[in-house]
Chains A and B, each alone.
Chain A
Amino acid sequence: MRTSLNNIAYIEAHLLKKQQPGDALLFDAKLLLDHDLQVDTSAQKQVYTLVQQYGRRQLKQEIEAVHQQLFTQPEHLSFKQKIARLFFRS
């Protein structure tokens, strides 16, 4: 792997807490001295947050699609009725 990718793997190990304790200490020390590493680490942290948000957005859409399927398609009519009876009793 090229150096910049190794650097990403190195930061990832730190952010996802997969380093040995000694390495983690060393990383923290480097972080204090190396401005570029600070910028990269902070940006990379945001990447994982964005991926999490992206995954969650997509999954919510998938769950909603399942909901629509269960409550609109004729083959699931009995399921829909079973639920409806709970809320709309006369």
Chain B
Amino acid sequence: MDAVKLQEQAAKRQELFIGLYKKVFPAVAKYVAKCGGSFDEAKDVFQDALLSYYEKTGSAGLAINNSDGAYVYGTARYLWLKRYKEGRQTSPLNEADAANTTAEIVTVPDENKLLSFLETAGKRCMELLRSFYYDKLPMTAVAQTFGFSGVRSATVQKYKCIEKVREAVKQKALTYEDFLK
């Protein structure tokens, strides 16, 4: 794994988030404060709005324009109203609603264990798969970042990684079945 290239990608994301923090967080904080919310609440919804923005645009969104700021601000505001304002006025926050607004994937403990395992044992593969499927980097950039000679060999490696993780998933299913017996 080309550590320098990976760090470059991470540095680009850091720059993006610092930019959005400076540009948008004051407005979000102002809104939340005005409505009687706390700093931690503002932080919570703002960070989830950043996550949502990133998942929507991927690495393509590395240059911030006005509409990006508006998207993050709008999302944060919506999340705050949904999570804190409504919850205070009415019944406790409906968990299904909260999951919908952030598109949160519910992780069962068993999957958490598998994920932790993959984070250590399959770091390189997970980083490669993350770059392509989560960060949505083009295959040419994935090839460069991970030091492959070209798109073709990077693609082959991508499928090998899927195979490896898929095996781990199957193993997990097996041990679970054993456990039930």
Residues in A lying within 8 Å of B, measured CB to CB: 1, 4-5, 8-9, 12, 39-40, 43-44, 46-60, 62-67, 69-70, 79, 82-84, 86-87
Contacts and interface: CB of A to CB of B under 8 A. Distances in A.
Contacts of B173: 43
A86 B30 contact: yes
A71 to B, nearest CB: 9
A83 B159 contact: no
Contacts of A12: 159, 162
Contacts of B134: 51-52, 54-56, 59
Nearest to A57: B115
Nearest to A39: B170
Main secondary structure of the interface of A (DSSP, over half): helix
A1 B96 CA distance: 43
A55 B135 contact: yes
Contacts of A62: 10, 13-14, 17
A56 B107 CA distance: 12
Contact of B50 (A1, A39, A63, A65): A63
Interface of B: 10, 13-14, 17-18, 21-22, 25-26, 29-30, 33, 38-39, 42-43, 47, 50-51, 54-55, 105, 107, 111, 114-115, 118-119, 126, 129-130, 133-135, 156, 159-160, 162-163, 165-166, 169-170, 173
Nearest first, the 10 A-B pairs at minimum CB distance are A55-B134, A86-B33, A5-B159, A43-B169, A66-B17, A55-B130, A51-B129, A87-B39, A47-B165, A8-B159
Given A53-B105, A58-B130, A47 B33 contact: no
Contacts of A82: 26
Contact of B133 (A51, A57, A63): A51
B115 A53 contact: yes
B33 to A, nearest CB: 4
B133 A87 contact: no
Contact of B156 (A5, A67, A83): A5
A40 B166 contact: yes
